[in-house]
Amino acid sequence: MNISSESHLAATVLCITGNLTVDDSDRFQRDIRETVVNFSTNVIIDCAGLDLIDSVGLESLLWLSDELNRNGKKLKYAAVPEPVQCVFELTRLDRVFSTHKTVEAAARSFA
């Protein structure tokens, strides 16, 4: 798993590539803490390069959502691949997660 970030007016965009699994969850949380200082910005996760997610990866996303909510910020998802979207649907997290076709659409949804 690799995470890169870009700051924009509406949010910080985090691009995740590779897998988000039990093997990556500690590093994911550590990298997020370094990137999203004090959880003081809205976050968009660009999932275009996300190949695989497991239950621990889902827990990591829920952790991030909770941290942002505690600080009055929001989390949105962009470009979610079909296999990952299926996992969201099977776990009914598609009802919780705000997903958008593009990063731009996710950014506009903050307005």
- What count of residues does the chain have? 111
pTM of the model: 0.94
- Is 4 in a helix, a strand, or coil? strand
Radius of gyration of the chain measured on its C-alpha atoms: 13
**Residue spans of beta strands (DSSP E) within 10-108:** 12-20, 43-53, 75-78, 98-100
Tell me the backbone φ, ψ of residue 28, rounded to 5 degrees: -60, -50
Mean pLDDT on 63-88 = 96
pLDDT at position 101: 98
What dihedral do alpha carbons 98, 92, 63, 14 form, nearest 10°?
-40
Give 40-67 pLDDT, tens digit per residue: 899 999 999 999 999 999 999 999 999 9
Do residues 46 and 68 lie in contact, with contact meaning Cβ atoms separated by under 8 Å? no
Q: Among 9-13, 41-45, 63-67, 80-84, whose mean pLDDT is lowest?
A: 9-13
